[in-house]
Homo-oligomer: A and B are copies of this chain.
Amino acid sequence: MTETPTEQKILDAARKLFMQKGMGATRMQEIADEAGINKALLHYYFRSKQKLFEHTFKEAFGHLQPSLQVLTNIDLPIEQRMRSFISEYVDVIEQNRFLPLFIMQEIQRDPANLYKLMTSSGFDPRKLLPLLAKAIGKSEKEAFELILNTISLVVFPYVGQPLITHVFFHGDEQAFAQALEGRKERITSLILSTIKNQ
């Protein structure tokens, strides 16, 4: 802890660039320039690009955990849980735009590692299905579909953002952001409509 100013500058720069361009397309030189320091210093503080990336990623991924945890809070009614989950999940993504993309990539590369990352911070999605099934009074199959639909609706727009922005907003990212305003609430309504009885 208690990071040095330089270390902090590096992390800020790395986060920003990884967010914008992803790990593969980001050059160490760019991070150094953005941080206003030399390329060699990156390797002095973090041994490799991979380690630097993992560091910034874990930091960001950790922010998702609270929103996942809320799903398992059986003291709240299911409607409330879903509402909070969607709201917090979207907020975190908005502040860490590269997270969905990274997760997509990591899903293809090593899904087991990603699962380990989740469980190691105390959230096991496998335990989620029985919990949700009971809460909605339906089968685990339907609980699975509930969570699948929710994540789909929340995450996809951000993964598709470059194309969506280009096609529908002529490259204007602010217009894209504006189009997504209030989407949290609309998704919530749509999802909740699927768990009403009948």
Contacts and interface: CB of A to CB of B under 8 A. Distances in A.
A115 to B, nearest CB: 5
Contacts of A40: none
B160 A159 contact: no
A167 B108 contact: no
Contacts of A111: 162-163, 165-167
B160 A126 contact: no
Contacts of A101: 108
A172 interface: no
A152 B144 contact: no
B179 A141 contact: yes
Contacts of A157: 148, 152
Interface in A109-126: 111-112, 114-115, 125-126
A80 B154 CA distance: 26
